[in-house]
């Protein structure tokens, strides 16, 4: 039952860049979007503050000029100058904020790429360690093959016949009988005994005949 929860054997062990590309892209996009949103909010706030300040200044200046001189030319000139100043300030603020956004985005992307490279190297080292482990296993198999003896027995000793063959050879005697004793077989013993008894009978017959 536990095997269905184990990692499939075909899954790659190393975590390479290609395997993590989808997650990495999502992380980088999210980080860039967050940075851009934050910077845009800051830019909008800064621009709004600058515009409000400039408008207030313009209103005050125009009111003072009108109160002092009350001429159309002076009022128009003051308004033009103030508008130009406001536009220049806004443009400068926007350019500065855009540059900051670009720099931050580049830093985030480069940091992610460096982190990916480090992790990819680590994954490669893990693969090398796995290969080393496989080599060690192969060496162990070779050692087991070297320790294996050439015969078919189970005593661990090399060469010669197997235990079964040794036992059979030791138990087998040279004769053809079934008494387990080596030497002349049972049939040969019967023949010799018969010949011996026959000789005794002949000798006894000779004695009885007086020879």
Q: Give the angle 159-160-161 at the CA atoms, nearest 5°.
A: 130
Q: Which two tokens stand for residue 106?
A: 């580049």
DSSP one-letter string for 28-67:
HHHHHHHHHHHHHHHHHHHHHHHHHHHHHHHHHHHHHHHH
Most confidently modeled of 19-33, 76-90, 138-152?
A: 76-90
Determine how many CB atoms are found less than 10 A away from the CB of residue 94: 13
Most confidently modeled of 19-33, 57-71, 137-151?
A: 57-71
Question: Which whole number is the average pLDDT over 37-57?
Answer: 80
Which residue ranges make up each domain of the chain? 13-126, 163-209
Question: Which whole number is the average pLDDT over 29-53?
Answer: 79
Question: pTM above 0.95?
Answer: no
**Mean of the per-residue pLDDT values for the chain?**
63
Task: With a cut of 70, say whether residue 51 has pLDDT above it.
Answer: yes
Determine the pLDDT at residue 118: 58
The C-alpha atoms of residue 106 and residue 110 are separated, in whole angstroms, by: 6
pLDDT classification of 194: cutoffs 50, 70, 90: low
Task: Pick 45 or 9 by higher pLDDT.
Answer: 45
Task: With a cut of 80, say whether residue 27 has pLDDT above it.
Answer: no
- Tokens 């009111």, residue? 63
pLDDT classification of 95: cutoffs 50, 70, 90: confident
> Could you read off the pLDDT of 143-182 as tens digits, one per residue?
555 555 455 555 555 554 444 545 444 445 455 555 555 5
The C-alpha atoms of residue 13 and residue 21 are separated, in whole angstroms, by: 16
């Amino acid at each position: 039952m536990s095997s269905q929860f184990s990692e499939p054997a075909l899954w790659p062990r190393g975590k390479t860049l290609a395997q993590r590309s989808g997650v990495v892209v999502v992380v980088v996009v999210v980080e860039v979007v967050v940075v851009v949103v934050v910077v845009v909010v800051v830019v909008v706030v800064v621009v709004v503050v600058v515009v409000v300040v400039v408008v207030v200044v313009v209103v005050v200046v125009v009111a003072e000029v009108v109160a002092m001189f009350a001429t159309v030319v002076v009022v128009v000139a003051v308004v033009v100058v103030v508008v130009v100043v406001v536009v220049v300030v806004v443009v400068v603020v926007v350019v500065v904020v855009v540059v900051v956004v670009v720099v931050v985005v580049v830093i985030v992307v480069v940091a992610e790429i460096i982190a990916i490279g480090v992790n990819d190297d680590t994954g490669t080292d893990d693969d090398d360690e796995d290969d080393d482990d496989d080599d060690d296993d192969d060496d162990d198999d070779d050692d087991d093959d070297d320790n294996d003896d050439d015969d078919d027995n189970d005593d661990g000793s090399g060469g010669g016949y197997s235990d079964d063959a040794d036992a059979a050879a030791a138990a087998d005697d040279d004769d053809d009988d079934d008494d387990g004793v080596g030497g002349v077989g049972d049939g040969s013993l019967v023949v010799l005994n018969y010949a011996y008894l026959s000789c005794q009978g002949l000798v006894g017959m000779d004695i009885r005949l007086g020879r």
